[in-house]
Amino acid sequence: DIQMTQSPSSLSASVGDRVTITCRASQTISNFLNWYQQKPGKAPNLLIYGASSLQSGVPSRFSGSGSGTDFTLTISSLQPEDFATYYCQQSVDSPRVTFGPGTKVEIK
């Protein structure tokens, strides 16, 4: 299986901050990388697919970049509703997709 890692595992930030989360794959995955947001008690919600394509209905303050093994999710100006846990997921090995362990974004 392709292993996914994320850093940091958690971070504290303030409303209005620029936040960056990193995801790394154990082998090259081209741009087959998706990002999700999950709030407590809810299912994950797709934010970004194909490393950089914004899912319909997702605010433009979210963006993704990267290719190969290293990827980044950026929130340009953190909003109160963005406090959540974020996961990356590789799809190059579909159907045997794997997820990162998550990054929890907390209020400073």
Partner 1 sequence: QVQLQQSGPGLVKPSQTLSLTCAIFGDSVSSHNVAWNWVRQSPSRGLEWLARANYRSKWFFDYAVSVKGRISIIPDPSKNQVSLQLNSVTPDDTAVYYCVRGLGSSGGDFWGQGTLVTVSS
Task: Tell whether residue 68 is a contact of partner 1 (CB under 8 A).
Answer: no
Q: Pick from 62, 71, 86, 87: which binds partner 1 (CB under 8 A)?
A: 87
Between residues 43 and 108, which has the closer beta carbon with respect to partner 1? 43
Find the angle CA(85)-CA(44)-CA(108) to the nearest 5 degrees.
20
Residues 20-59 that bind partner 1 (CB under 8 A): 32, 34, 36, 42-46, 48-50, 55
- Torsion from C-alpha of 90, 98, 81, 59, nearest 10 degrees: 20
Distance CA 81, CA 101 (A): 21
Between residues 17 and 92, which has the closer beta carbon with respect to partner 1? 92
Between residues 14 and 56, which has the closer beta carbon with respect to partner 1? 56
DSSP 78-101: --GGG-SEEEEEE-TTTTS-EE--
Instruction: Give the interface with partner 1 as residue ranges (CB under 8 A).
Output: 32, 34, 36, 42-46, 48-50, 55, 87, 89, 91, 94-99, 101-102
